[in-house]
Amino acid sequence: MKFFIDTANLDQIREAQDLGILDGVTTNPSLMAKEGIRGKENILQHYLNICEIVKGDVSAEVIATDYEGMIAEGKELSLLHSQIVVKIPMIKEGIKAIKYFSRQEIRTNCTLVFSLGQALLAAKAGAAYVSPFIGRLDDVSTDGVELIRSIVDLFHYYGFETQVLAASIRSSMHIIRCAEAGADVVTCPLQSILGLIEHPLTTIGLEKFLSDYRKLNS
């Protein structure tokens, strides 16, 4: 399973990269706005900065919602850097855009996926990734991880190459459950990744090892 970080914050991306386990980055307009990145030139430069830190796929989302607009923006983003994956929303025009990019061998990440039917259409259109938002499903009393499991099963059954990228991860437990469900990728906040490291017995065990060492070596 690949680990992506879901942020546009360069410090957090560097910290995750320093761990040595980072495979890529996902961004979206809200995450870019959170970092105060505004204006086309600054936005494009920010994607380039991210690509310099991480040697993996970097999802960059189009703002247009019409077919022509998505094609124009997606082409510009894909030409920016070979690591860029064009993020396209799961709407009717988006499906057409994904199909277009697939024919051009430009990789896409279909975002805002909340159902098996949406995932099926994205895969059929040739998306490289499909991004079900599991936290937002949980928010409306629907089991997001179960959707991951269903999509993974469906894609395996039909042999789709589209990777299942679990998004809207809110906790370390989400990551573990997505791994158990067979997600190809999880994109997570830094804290959820770091939370996987923690265990009270590890802390207690390490303290004991070190205190026993010090008793004889100080």
Q: Given the rule CB under 6 A, which residues bind ligand G3P?
A: 6, 26, 28, 31, 133, 135-136, 167-168, 170, 187
Do residues 93 and 126 lie in contact, with contact meaning Cβ atoms separated by under 8 Å? no
Q: Minimal distance in Å, beta carbon 218 to ligand G3P?
A: 47
Q: Which residue lies nearer to ligand G3P by CB, 6 or 73?
A: 6
Q: Minimal distance in Å, beta carbon 185 to ligand G3P?
A: 11
133/116 Cα distance (integer angstroms): 12
77/72 Cα distance (integer angstroms): 9
Q: Minimal distance in Å, beta carbon 14 to ligand G3P?
A: 19
Q: Minimal distance in Å, beta carbon 169 to ligand G3P?
A: 7
Q: Which residue lies nearer to ligand G3P by CB, 33 or 48?
A: 33
Return the SS3 of 199.
coil
Which residues, 6+ apart, have CB-to-CB distance to 53 below 8 Å?
10, 13, 14, 17
HSE-up (13 A, CA, CB side) for residue 78: 19
Q: Which residue lies nearer to ligand G3P by CB, 71 or 122?
A: 122
Return the SS3 of 159.
coil
202/195 Cα distance (integer angstroms): 13
Q: Which residue lies nearer to ligand G3P by CB, 97 or 166?
A: 166
Do residues 66 and 96 lie in contact, with contact meaning Cβ atoms separated by under 8 Å? no
Q: Minimal distance in Å, beta carbon 202 to ligand G3P?
A: 28
4/7 Cα distance (integer angstroms): 9
Which residues, 6+ apart, have CB-to-CB distance to 147 below 8 Å?
114, 115, 116, 119, 132, 134, 137
Q: Which residue lies nearer to ligand G3P by CB, 12 or 71?
A: 12
- Which residue numbers are catalytic? 87
